[in-house]
Amino acid sequence: MKLRSAILFATLAFALAGCTSYADVQPGYQDHLDSRADYEQSEEYLEAEGDYYAGQQRADDFATSGWQCYWDPTMNDDWHDDYQCSDGVNNDRPYLIPDDSFVEGWELDAAVAEYEASLNQ
């Protein structure tokens, strides 16, 4: 019984000492957080960021290209809804071939091609 009490006391003391000493790990951290208010990006960084985004298409450009469907598995053991369709702005996840309990990859490919064609009409 004395051994249990000693172990319990040591564990409790260690846990409390760990919690109270955490605040003193980095004294002055609050000053560091307050000093971020006047931070400004360098000109080189802003220029590099602009160059990075310059080559990307806007969402409006995707919307004019029509609907595209791509394989995007849901990991729910149901292959019927493993395709996602998007026009760049809107998304649609069709449930393909609902009457067939087991579908194969080639059946889904044919069904999604037909579905994509119907969306683009």
Contact, 82 vs 108, CB < 8 A? yes
Q: Is the pLDDT of residue 23 over 60?
A: no
Give the DSSP H/E element, type plus range, for residue 38. none
Spell out where the chain has E strands. 68-71, 83-86, 91-92
Report domain extents, the chain. 63-119
* pTM, entire model: 0.47
Calculate what percentage of the chain has a pLDDT beyond 70. Answer: 70
Write down the pLDDT at residue 8.
Answer: 80
Model confidence over 78-97: pLDDT tens digits? Answer: 888 999 999 988 999 999 99
Calculated CA dihedral for residues 101, 102, 106, 111, nearest 10 degrees? 10
Residue 98's pLDDT is: 93
Specify the 3-state DSSP secondary structure of 115.
helix
3-state secondary structure of 70: strand
pLDDT: which is higher, 25 or 120? 120
CA dist., res. 79 & res. 94, Å (int): 11
**Measured distance CA(25)–CA(27) in Å, rounded:** 6
